[in-house]
Amino acid sequence: MAAKTKKTEYEISLSSEISELKGIGPQKAERLAKLGIEHFEDMFEFYPREYEDKRNVKRICDLADGEKVLVRARVLLLRFGKGFGKNRTLHLLCEDDTARMEVLFFKGAFLAGQFKQGELFDFFGKVKVENGRVTMFHPSYSRSEGTEEKGILPVYPLTAGISQKDLRLCSRAALLHADELSETLPASAVISARLCSNAYAYSNIHYPQGDEQYKAARYRLVYEELYYLDTALALSKDRGGAGRNGNSITGDYAWQFASSLPFEMTGAQKRALKDILDDMASPKAMNRLVQGDVGSGKTAVAAAAMLQSAKNGYQSAFMAPTDILARQHFETLTKLFKGFGVDIVLLTSTMPSAEKKKALELIKSGAADIAVGTHALISGGVEYSNLGLVITDEQHRFGVNQRRLLSAKGKCPDVLVMTATPIPRTLAVVLYADLDISVIDELPPGRIPIITKSYDAKTRKQAYDILLEEVAKGRQAYIVAPYIEDPENMEGRSAQGLFEGFSAAHKDISCALLHGQMDQAEKDDVMTRFYNGEIQVLVSTVVIEVGIDVPNATVMLIEDSQRFGLAQMHQLRGRVGRGKHQSYCLIVTDGGGQTAEDRAKIMCQTLSGFTIAEKDLELRGPGEFFGYRQHGLPQLTLADPVKHREVAAKALTDVQMMLAKDPKLTSQENAAFLKNLKRKYMQSDGLTL
């Protein structure tokens, strides 16, 4: 077979395979494919992770602690540090005309062949300057030969066998043809948001000509990602059509159930239930999110909706993220529905075969009004007689696709998703554009407020004294750490280390360890024993952030709180305070500066998840505000709904205006946009349009 004729960057087209370019052989092409780069057009959205500003090479003697800089230095010495084999640390001693610095690559022994004594290199990375000693950690690097590239250069994510030089060769070749790209956003959006062209955006996101050009490019691309996502979600939201062929779920059954409860629903619960019942009475399928703090009574509202559905002849499916939580919901609902003539079955993957077979038969025949379970509810072998209502608890643990799989078991069933994760009101509309939103922002009266106290490294013992006092009273406690094992080259407490230390110091207290790397059966066993009171102290990572209710647990001790966000700590605090005894959340902060102190102070001042979510957004700003993504949605590459909340709001407004004029995107102006929208979603594991 004849070899492909190699082309120059001017001869390729955007649809050309990457292997056609001179300098990219079969092996490199195969490795580039692992990065998702097979054709030159793929390079446009393979964005740099950072940049080397080669306009300004800094002298070692002028470096300041914490800055990210470009240094040109000669390698004087190579040596290996801790570790074994390829996992050893590589140390380079380098110098320029002014001073020396050390370059460290953790687990970087395999890089040793890249460097030779006496050679000049450009290093770009973050430096630590302490007591006159300069250290640069894990920099990007390139050999400096006197013909260095100038300007601002992209630094791309790499894979084995691919260098920055290879990727820059490919991106430059692609960008030579950027002007061949046609505009895919509607003209109305480009004008409304004052966007630069996509060719200009791609050119300046890869090779910025300056700060202003980079900002314009990034704004365009962030806006575009959010515009596509908001459009897909908005179109998806309307998928219900005529719902159940015009049938409506009506009656006073839900309110009769609410009045039978041993407590009166709060005003917020009643408002949420009214929203749900209005949706269910409509012939259009419901698609609603109920957002409420831990303990706000979301389950009671969901139960009322399920009873309404059952009394109208429809089945309900209630899906929980874990086996043990599904069982707890099953037990709770069984008690709540006593005397209402509602039949409930449990279905999980861990049930004995005979029990599972019986449950499947009851669901298929319609004898079961409500099926409570885990992912087992969406498995291929489950058939429903007349599924009318789908409920998912802690919806972010499932995501869009799994909700759809469950919905597909019925004929346009109503969908209700619930979450106790506090989300700022300012963001909820953007993040859940495919859902109507109800908020339960009141706690039932009579709940004993959790006492939250803050400690530092010096007063840590006081926190453990409270924990031990509670255990001595017969109560149970959680200790949560940010890591499973002690992290390398970082300070921090681990669940493994705390478990070993606590167990050794308190042999009379039954203690157990729980973390995400344990298999599900092992995790369920530990949680069951803790629930049954066999374990007094549970040392864990944030895997218990969403868990079962243990009324006897009265202490949540959070170690190294500076490594958690406010919203996450609030979720952890929600694991206690579920019973009749006074509960405590004890926050131990060891470092983290003023921001960590501010977080701890806010936690001590308020129990409102919504207030905390807003404060978390203010304090953290850009970054991982949410510890999760809605699985099933196309991955956002540049856009961050928190960091770019103003852009997100603008994109959503423009999408709503577009769809108000052209609901099905059938106009000529939107033809290219619709084509690209379908391509993006058909290529993802996300929504299908």
CATH number at residue 480: 3.40.50.300
Strands across the sheet with 344-347, in order? 344-347, 370-373, 315-319, 387-393, 414-419, 287-292, 436-440
Average pLDDT over the chain reads 85
Q: How confident is the model at residue 149 (pLDDT cuts 50, 70, 90)?
A: low
Each residue of 511-530: pLDDT tens digit?
A: 999 998 888 788 889 998 99
Question: Could you tell me if residue 634 is inside a domain?
Answer: no
Question: Could you tell me if residue 233 is inside a domain?
Answer: yes
- The verdict on 184 and 331 lying in the same domain is no
Which residues are CB-contacts of 82 (< 8 A; sequence separation ≥ 6)? Answer: 88, 89
- The verdict on 263 and 404 lying in the same domain is yes
- The verdict on 419 and 316 lying in the same domain is yes
Q: Of 416, 440, 464, which marks where a domain is finished?
A: 440
Q: Hey, how many other C-beta atoms are within 10 angstroms of the C-beta on 122?
A: 21
Each residue of 251-304: pLDDT tens digit?
A: 899 999 999 998 899 999 999 999 999 999 988 888 888 988 877 889 999 999
User: What's the pLDDT score for residue 396?
Assistant: 47
Q: What is the mean pLDDT of residues 556-585?
A: 90
- The verdict on 400 and 415 lying in the same domain is yes
Each residue of 93-133: pLDDT tens digit?
A: 999 999 999 999 987 888 888 899 999 998 988 899 988 89
- Specify the number of domains making up the chain: 4
Q: How confident is the model at residue 340 (pLDDT cuts 50, 70, 90)?
A: very high
User: What's the pLDDT score for residue 621?
Assistant: 45
- The verdict on 316 and 202 lying in the same domain is no
Q: What is the mean pLDDT of residues 199-207?
A: 95
Question: Could you tell me if residue 329 is inside a domain?
Answer: yes
The proportion of the chain whose per-residue pLDDT surpasses 70, expressed as a percent, equals 86
Question: Could you tell me if residue 637 is inside a domain?
Answer: no
Question: φ and ψ at 185, to 5 degrees?
Answer: -80, 150
Q: Hey, how many other C-beta atoms are within 10 angstroms of the C-beta on 499?
A: 21
Question: Could you tell me if residue 435 is inside a domain?
Answer: yes
> Rounded to an integer, what distance in angstroms lies between the CA atom of residue 315 and that of residue 332?
18
**C-alpha distance from residue 452 to each of 245, 562, 607, 614, 678 (Å):** 52, 16, 9, 19, 49
Question: Could you tell me if residue 492 is inside a domain?
Answer: yes
- The verdict on 384 and 502 lying in the same domain is no
Q: What is the 3-state secondary structure (H, E, C) of 492-527?
A: CCEHHHHHHHHHHHCCCCCEEEECCCCCHHHHHHHH
Each residue of 399-426: pLDDT tens digit?
A: 555 566 777 787 888 889 888 776 666 5
User: What's the pLDDT score for residue 516?
Assistant: 82
β partners of residue 143: 121
- pLDDT value at 687 more than 60: no
Most confident option among 192-201, 314-323, 639-648? 192-201
**Which carries the bigger pLDDT value, residue 493 or residue 28?**
28
Q: Of 580, 606, 632, which marks where a domain is finished?
A: 606
CATH number at residue 71: 2.40.50.140
- The verdict on 602 and 482 lying in the same domain is yes
Q: What is the mean pLDDT of residues 352-371?
A: 95
Question: φ and ψ at 216, to 5 degrees?
Answer: -65, -40
Backbone conformation region of residue 104, classed left if phi is above 0, alpha if psi is from -120 to 50, else beta: beta
> What is the residue range of 104's domain?
56-149
- Rounded-to-5 percentages of helix, strand, coil across the chain: 40, 20, 40
Q: Of 132, 149, 166, which marks where a domain is finished?
A: 149
- The verdict on 350 and 433 lying in the same domain is yes
- The verdict on 360 and 410 lying in the same domain is yes
User: What's the pLDDT score for residue 491?
Assistant: 57
Each residue of 219-250: pLDDT tens digit?
A: 999 999 999 988 887 786 655 444 444 457 88
Long-range Cβ pairs for the range 366-369 (8 Å, 24+): 366/315, 367/343, 368/315, 368/343, 368/344, 369/306, 369/309, 369/310, 369/315, 369/316, 369/342, 369/343, 369/344
User: What's the pLDDT score for residue 429?
Assistant: 60
- The verdict on 435 and 496 lying in the same domain is no
> Rounded to an integer, what distance in angstroms lies between the CA atom of residue 476 and that of residue 497?
20
Contact 188, 160 (CB under 8 A): no
Report which secondary-structure segment, H or E, holds 468. Answer: helix 460-472
Q: How confident is the model at residue 453 (pLDDT cuts 50, 70, 90)?
A: very high
Q: What is the mean pLDDT of residues 353-372?
A: 95
Nearest in space to 90 (alpha carbons), one of 114, 106, 71: 106
> Rounded to an integer, what distance in angstroms lies between the CA atom of residue 339 and that of residue 320?
25
Q: Could you write out the DSSP letters of every residue in 599-662? A: HHHHHHH---HHHHHHHHHHHH-SS-SSS---TTSPPPSS--TTTTHHHHHHHHHHHHHHHHH-
- The verdict on 128 and 257 lying in the same domain is no
User: What's the pLDDT score for residue 301?
Assistant: 96
Question: Could you tell me if residue 105 is inside a domain?
Answer: yes
Nearest in space to 553 (alpha carbons), one of 574, 567, 568, 523: 574
Question: Could you tell me if residue 3 is inside a domain?
Answer: no
- The verdict on 226 and 367 lying in the same domain is no
Question: φ and ψ at 309, to 5 degrees?
Answer: -65, -45
Q: What is the mean pLDDT of residues 18-34?
A: 88
- pLDDT value at 3 more than 60: no
